[in-house]
Amino acid sequence: MVIDKKILKELYNDRADEVQKYDYGMVIVVGGSELYSGSPVLSALSALRSGADMTHIMAPRRAADIAASFSPALITFPLEGKCLSLDHLPELFSFTRSAEIVSRGRVSVVIGGGAGRTKETKEAIREYLKQVSVPTVIDADAIYAFEEEKIDFSEKPFIFTPHLHEFLVLTGRDIKNIPVEDRGKIVKEEAQKLSSVILLKGKIDFISDGEDLSSNNITVPQLTTGGCGDTLAGIAGALLARGVSPYKAGQGAALINTLAGKIAAEEKGESLIPTDLIDCISKAIK
């Protein structure tokens, strides 16, 4: 199945006349480190532009403080230290439980962007994901947390968003030299093994939940720019928080990210940066 704009009508119905905050979801963005502060910002802003009612960034203090200064729309929760660690787990669990209550279950998590790959950070990510069951986008450095140890993802509404090398890290399968049109079958096989949705980013995006397979055939070469994967993760998080299924959220995120990227690239060309893409999300989902 090739994804097209028809899916947007399913994802974005007209809002009711009377709604409350959190009816359209809260997204918790977990990531960042002393060195990488931009990734959580890009994911959170993308989630807001994709219709989430609120985002919260949970990040080590330097990254959280930079995020807070970037936009008044961003709410941050600083964690002491230079990177995510096991010491942060009580705060992460407590905040996630509170978010589930206050949002009346309309909550999702985006985890991994800018988190780094220290041994303790990867262990903290694994422990967090073992114990949470809210819809979650596992992106970037969080994928590397499963390089050494796999966990049981069955019954967990998770989306993995790897590029080609991260797909190798996650599954052990190197598909870089496999023809693009043949990659979808492998994505489906691995999604079935993981009992999760995989959204493989590339020239053609492939999305599978292990049973169904779809592709996003819109090609935007400028999306190799660092940060454009963070925007996709944020969009997926926003859709999950609205109550969209992981498979459908993966489809929608792939389409919206490339549509917004295409619009931005038409103006910016080689000068495209992720914030240009974020500015075009509203045009993409019209």
- The 3 state secondary structure assigned to the chain is CECCCHHHHHHCCCCCCCCCCCCCCEEEEECCCCCCCHHHHHHHHHHHHCCCCEEEEEEEHHHHHHHHHHCCCCEEEEECCCCCCHHHHHHHHHHHHHHHHHCCCCEEEEECCCCCCCHHHHHHHHHHHHHCCCCEEECHHHHHHHCCCCCCCCCCCEEECCCHHHHHHHHCCCCCCCCHHHHHHHHHHHHHHHCCEEEECCCCEEEECCCCEEEECCCCHHHHCCCHHHHHHHHHHHHHHCCCCHHHHHHHHHHHHHHHHHHHHHHHHHHCCHHHHHHCHHHHCC
Residue 14 is predicted with a pLDDT of: 84
Residue 196 is predicted with a pLDDT of: 97
What's domain 6-14+22-284's architecture?
3-Layer(aba) Sandwich (3.40)
Residue 40 is predicted with a pLDDT of: 98
Q: Say how far apart CA 76 and CA 148 lie, in whole Å.
A: 31
Per-residue pLDDT of the chain (286 residues; tens, 9 = 90+): 999 999 999 999 888 889 999 999 999 999 999 999 999 999 999 999 999 999 999 999 999 999 999 999 999 999 999 999 999 999 999 999 999 999 999 999 999 999 999 999 999 999 999 999 999 999 999 999 999 888 888 889 999 999 999 999 999 999 999 999 999 999 999 999 999 999 999 999 999 999 999 999 999 999 999 999 999 999 999 999 999 999 999 999 999 999 999 999 999 999 999 999 999 999 999 8
CA angle 121, 126, 145 (to 5 degrees): 60
Q: Say how far apart CA 57 and CA 237 lie, in whole Å.
A: 13
Residue 148 is predicted with a pLDDT of: 83
Tokens 């998080």 belong to 237
Residue 15 is predicted with a pLDDT of: 86
The token pair that represents 196 in the structure block: 């999760």
pTM here? Answer: 0.98
- CA 99 to chain centroid: 18
